[in-house]
Structure 1
Amino acid sequence: MTAIISTAYSRDLGDELRRLRESCTGLGGRAMAIQLGWDPSKVSTIENGKARASDIDLVQYLATCGKDIDFMEDFRRRYRNAFDLYFVQVPDNLRTIAMTESMAKKIVSYDIMTVHGLLQTQRYARELFVDGDIEAPEDIEKYVQARMERQTILRRPNRPECLFYVHELALQLHLGDAQLMEDQYLRLLFNTHILRVVPANVRGAAFQTKCTLYEFEKVPPVVFTETNMGQVFAQDNAAVERGRRLFERLDAVALESGSPGEFHPWAPTDPGVTVSRHRALVTLVT
């Protein structure tokens, strides 16, 4: 076992081991350590992603959980990159990002063409998947529900401090029918205290990449970005510093956030004037 800086993915895989222990053995962490002949702290350290387990450690652990050689080889393959400071995974892996959000004490994000997933309504999220036409139709509902479940962190008593920057282009993008967009705009209006709009005339900001910075209580910060092809987690100091510079720039050009008590939703309108609603939202958050 090698002590090392934990990463979002090492914590995810460590948590996967914990779940296997609980579901397959019924043993507590200390009892598992005794079963394996390990120091009592070793199980906790590995399950929290704070140290790299050796191949022998993983085989012993997984064998105690009753896993076969094929499972062990698949887990070892994934674990090989668990502590990389730059890590890329397929976008349909939902565990790592959900765990990262649930552990964060602060989340700062920037989205250019869409509203951030933590602020999306269910219909808006579904329409994004449908219009994207990449995910298999039978998988879309699973992804939508996972996105809605991630939003529970905003309702926790110890919820993370959040700030969402969104470019005005995202508010101009019309998805589905007028009622869908009306509901999404209302969701944003009720969250204007954590929302800042980057005006369309700040053209340089539109050429940036969507980005989220996660900060934690006891582990290093992580910068995250994604495309339809992959999710990128970067923990290297240079990457984190670039993320911080981006948000410093956005802080200088974005409209100020407001208090939700100061705003009033507009009345429903005909679909023909829906395109103007984003301008009402921009006006409200100034």
Structure 2
Amino acid sequence: MSTDFQQARVALGVRLRELRVDAGLSGRELAGRCGWLPSKVSKLENGKQTPKPDDLAAWAQAVGRPAKLAELKGRLTGLEVTYRSWRRQLATGHRARQEIAAAEHLNSRVIRAYEATVIPGIFQTADYARHVLTHNADLRQTPRDTEEAVRARMKRQASLYEPGREFRALVWEGALRARVCPPDVLAAQLDRMAGLIGLDTVQLGVVPFEAALTITPRHGFWIYDERLVIVETLNAEMWLDDPADIALYGKAWERLDAAAAYGRTAHFLIARARAALDTA
């Protein structure tokens, strides 16, 4: 769980405790008014459990402060907007998440991305995307809407050819070699990557294995203009709009960019990865 999310959940718990104490109620008394076990009150106040909107409504009513519900829900919304679990996002499949990503692309003029383990979605071939989405659905046991999600991802790629947009993508060389699909599918994907180099709206850099680094590759992230950073982890996605967070990820991107190869050297690295498929 992200530190930012946990800190926000603890802060919400502290606020709930303040309201209870101000009302002169013990944890057991509040639990009785809400029809809960006392342990639930403890978990909520100590940031060990994320409250549901109904929990907050019951709490505000129990402490005699129904007017505080709007404040509490605002805190919960802020917490959930920052930390979006894949379980919730993919409850109905992958297509909806692809459409959300498309909307962010359309609302942005300059997108900077870094991926360490996978080809960026906006550059993926349909076959490659199909394998990646299938693996994710298997891991998370989410509904299978793979073909709809693939079509949504391919539709999103139309923005690559729109004048006025700029995609600055960095890929760790390992992502070019990760066998998340059969060799022939990966070969076609690498050909697609090579073909993007030189496109007016795309700046594609590859961070070589041999590069001297001032930052470890770590996880992927996307920076949308200077207003939003989206970070994907195994269990969740974080949407960060705090200026300090955006500046931090911008600095990380610049350090990786300084180590990246472009143009003919990037072509060579892609060709090297493709050649390795023939010798495996």
TM-score (norm 1): 0.57
Aligned pairs (5 A) from 1:93-242? 93-94=96-97, 95-132=99-136, 133-134=138-139, 135-136=141-142, 138-158=144-164, 160-193=165-198, 194-202=203-211, 206-215=216-225, 221-242=227-248
Instruction: Indicate the SS of the match to 1:104.
Output: coil
Give the C-alpha shift of residue 109 in structure 1: 0.3
Residue matched to 1:248: 254
The alignment's C-alpha RMSD in Å is: 3.4
Deviates more, 1:110-119 or 1:92-101: 92-101
Partners of 1:123 and 1:224 in 2: CA distance: 25
| 1:31-81, Cα deviation, whole Å (9 max, x unpaired) | xxxxxxxxxxxxxxxxxxxxxxxxxxxxxxxxxxxxxxxxxxxxxx89972
Assess, with a 3 A threshold, how the Cα gap between structure 1 residues 155 and 207 changes in structure 2: closer, same or farther: closer
1:9 is matched with which residue? none
The answer (yes or no) to whether the contact 1:86–1:236 under 8 Å persists in 2 is: no
Task: Name which one, 1 or 2, has greater alpha-carbon Rg.
Answer: 2
Structure 1: stretches of 5+ with no match in the other structure:
1-76, 276-286
How many Å separate the matches in 2 of 1:177 and 1:131?
A: 13
State the one-letter code of the partner of 2:246: V
Q: Distance in 1 between matches of 2:84 and 2:219?
A: 16
Structure 2 unaligned segments of length 5 or more: list them: 1-72, 91-95
Q: Following TM superposition, by how much is the alpha carbon of 1:138 offset from its aligned partner in structure 2, in angstroms?
A: 2.9
Q: Quote how far apart the aligned CAs of 1:200 are.
A: 1.4
- Deviation, structure 1 residue 163: 0.9
Task: Give the count of matched residue pairs.
Answer: 190
Identity percentage of aligned residues = 24
Which stretch of structure 1 is more off in the superposition, 186-195 or 163-172?
186-195
Letter in structure 2 aligned against 1:86:
T
Q: Is the 8 A contact 1:111 1:166 kept in 2?
A: yes
Match of 1:86 among 75, 82, 87: 82
CA distance in 2, matches of 1:208, 1:271: 24
Aligned counterpart, 1:257: 263
AA paired with 1:273? D
Q: Contact (CA 8 Å) 1:192, 1:259: kept in 2 or not?
A: no
Query: What is the CA–CA distance in structure 2 between the aligned matches of 1:78 and 1:121, rounded to whole Å?
Result: 40
- CA spacing shift, 1:241–1:174, aligned 2, 3 Å: same
- 8 Å contact from structure 2 (residues 85, 236) kept in 1: yes
* Amino acid of the structure 2 residue aligned with 1:88: R
Contact in 2 for aligned 1:223/1:235 (Cα 8 Å): yes
**Which protein is richer in helix relative to its size?**
2
- CA distance in 2 between counterparts of 1:173 and 1:122 reads 17
CA distance in 2, matches of 1:247, 1:274: 33
1:259–1:273 Cα change, 3 Å:
closer
